Amino acid sequence: MNYMKVLLNGIIKENPTFVLLLGMCPTLGTTSSALNGMSMGLATMAVLIVSNLIISLIKNLVPDMVRIPSYIVVIASLVTVLQMLIKAYAPDIDKSLGLFIPLIVVNCIILGRAESFAAKNNPVASVFDGIGIGMGFTIALTCLGAVRELLGTGAIFGQTLWNESYGMLMFVLAPGAFLVLGYLIVVFNKIFKNA
Amino acid sequence: MLAVLTVIALVAGAVLAYVNSVTAPQIEKIKAENLAAGIKAVMGADDIQVAEKQEINGFEYYAISDASSSPLGSAIVTEENGFGGPLKVLVGFDREGTILGYTLLEHAETPGLGAKADVWFQDKIIGKNPGQCNFTVSKDGGDIDAITASTITSRAFLLAVKKAYDELVAPKDGQTGATTQEAASAKND
């Protein structure tokens, strides 16, 4: 197995946001700024890597019939651990993302990768898949957040480029999320159509 | 089959219990630190003594005195339904009921609109006494300018502050709640 290919597969060919269109709830909900999008992406990536690893390790021990419940227990526990760690050691991230962290449990990317990749591949490849998909998700959310933040408030990562009063507030709000996501999907698929 | 799922759930439970036991004290500590920093900010003073928390009529009430134990006023946590959910405000009053400062502890207001409440009202309500002016938004005939395009948030915010003032700070006949305690601690000096 070519690990580089697994990595790139997650970022480009099966980019969870732009190609698979999975996990739209956190995508639309948390990307009101570039930093929020990136934090959410990284949090999801952390869960994805560990869940892929664990599920790949226990895949032969778990009978087929209780596969999904077992995976969900693993994923939910990981997310809860992550939430407690963030609350305890990164209170600033907790302030902006606290509401969305528990939603990682129901992010279909994580269960999707557990089912379609980790349950069929060895632990090392599964970790690489977690990194790849996680990076794809993080990059997508950061782009989405950056565009929305720039158009909405005239800043990127909190660095003001032009005065806030020229910003179109709509882009920070829900309708802007849908619009920007739509256009980014167009751009992404145009660029990587033949990749 | 059942055994496997049971074992997985047991292991998961054990891990969660362990992480919880490690992080819980830290989480409590951060909460307490945030509150202490917030109280200092809303009282506009660093060198203060904060009395034990008291729950009065659903408000969290902290009597504040300065370094030499003479009463400065009070810091009150008050809550009202905002536009996007509960709006929790920590507000500091001096002994006459003049607002010294406020900070938003929790809110779910719209970013760019209602969420501006954390800075917007700083120069609009600080120094005002809710008992001596018309403490509602100008749209409702009051003296305070609402956040542009966020009247609902503004109303909720002002109501939360006014509620705290009316219940705990405003001078009343028969002296209840805060005023009693302040009078009592004033006597002790």
Domain assignment of residue A123, yes or no: yes
Asked if A63 and B4 come within 8 Å (Cβ–Cβ), the reply is yes
With an 8 Å Cβ cutoff, is A152 touching chain B? Answer: yes
Statement: residue B184 has pLDDT above 50? no
B25 pLDDT band (50/70/90 cuts)?
very high
Domain count within chain A: 1
Nearest alpha carbon to residue B157 among B93, B63, B91: B91
DSSP β-bridge partners for residue B71: B65
Q: Quick check: A58 and A70 in contact, CB under 8 A? A: yes
If you average pLDDT over residues B172-182, what whole number do you get? 50
Q: How far apart are CA B66 and CA A179, in angstroms?
A: 54
Asked if B9 and A88 come within 8 Å (Cβ–Cβ), the reply is no
If you average pLDDT over residues B88-94, what whole number do you get? 89
Q: Quick check: B133 and B143 in contact, CB under 8 A? A: yes
A69: chain B residues, CB-CB within 8 Å:
5
Q: How far apart are CA B6 and CA B8, in angstroms?
A: 5
Domain assignment of residue A195, yes or no: no
Statement: residue B187 has pLDDT above 50? no
Q: Quick check: B89 and B160 in contact, CB under 8 A? A: yes
Helix ranges (H only) for chain B are: 2-43, 117-120, 122-125, 151-164, 177-188
pLDDT at site B174 = 46
Q: Quick check: B107 and B117 in contact, CB under 8 A? A: yes
How do the pLDDT tens digits run along chain A, 195 residues long? Answer: 688 888 888 888 888 888 888 888 888 888 888 888 898 899 899 999 999 999 999 888 888 888 889 999 999 999 999 999 988 888 887 877 777 788 888 888 999 888 888 888 899 999 999 999 999 999 999 999 999 988 888 888 878 888 777 778 788 888 999 999 999 999 998 988 765
pLDDT at site B13 = 94
Domain assignment of residue A194, yes or no: no
Domain assignment of residue A18, yes or no: no
> What is the extent of the structural domain holding A85?
3-11+24-188
pLDDT in tens, A27-63: 888 888 888 889 889 989 999 999 999 999 988 888 8
Domain assignment of residue A28, yes or no: yes
A87: chain B residues, CB-CB within 8 Å:
23, 27, 30
- Regarding an ipTM greater than 0.90, the answer is no
